[in-house]
Structure 1
């Protein structure tokens, strides 16, 4: 897809790189927490719906790790420093590093759109479960007693 008016606008919103790095750190912390508490998680619904939910959630975590990782590769590969809200975490590279830039150029944009689509689908499914199926999935996920 490359750079166009939409992608340039999205990249200009706030400190894009810092937000991406923060998402990576929070996602890694969340995965650590999930691993520690893996025996206390409620089971997925049986059947196709449960398998789809598990697949989508695994995809979310994969995207939330790989998107910032690709962006960091691209930033450093282009010779840019990695900065987190102004604090330099990784100095500038002395030259362009093509093998770092190429996968990020190829995948960061399309995977970002995939994440956006999954977020919209996730919201739609949460609303479907709440208002149409009325199966109390959200209450089960957050441990609500059902009052």
Structure 2
């Protein structure tokens, strides 16, 4: 009697091990649906991160230009160029000597598009009030703005149009 019980148990174990082709295909289909739902969200998050990074880079460059103009007791010029690759923010002295370079993501754009300069004076002032808008090649990304007022206070906020 014991021999037949062992034989049945072994037969059941052998036939129920593994997955069927249908089970595997259903699992793969469910995974594909989940990935297709998540992919747009992930690309938007990456674009938002690029905008944040470029905003931080520009903000740091503006702050460095402000501080360096006071330390050096001379006007310093901050400029950027969206047409170059890699995209670079440059701080220069009046004699065209480069003080610092910052590179930012090629997918990001700082607006206004035209090469715009801003002059930081040693009296902690700027030549003109500026508002920079940072955009990304992904239209779903959240834009950010950096404002530089007359007394060279630098503030960052969400918003702006590209």
Bigger fraction of residues in helix: 1
Bigger fraction of residues in strand: 2
Normalised TM-score (structure 2): 0.27
Normalised TM-score (structure 1): 0.29
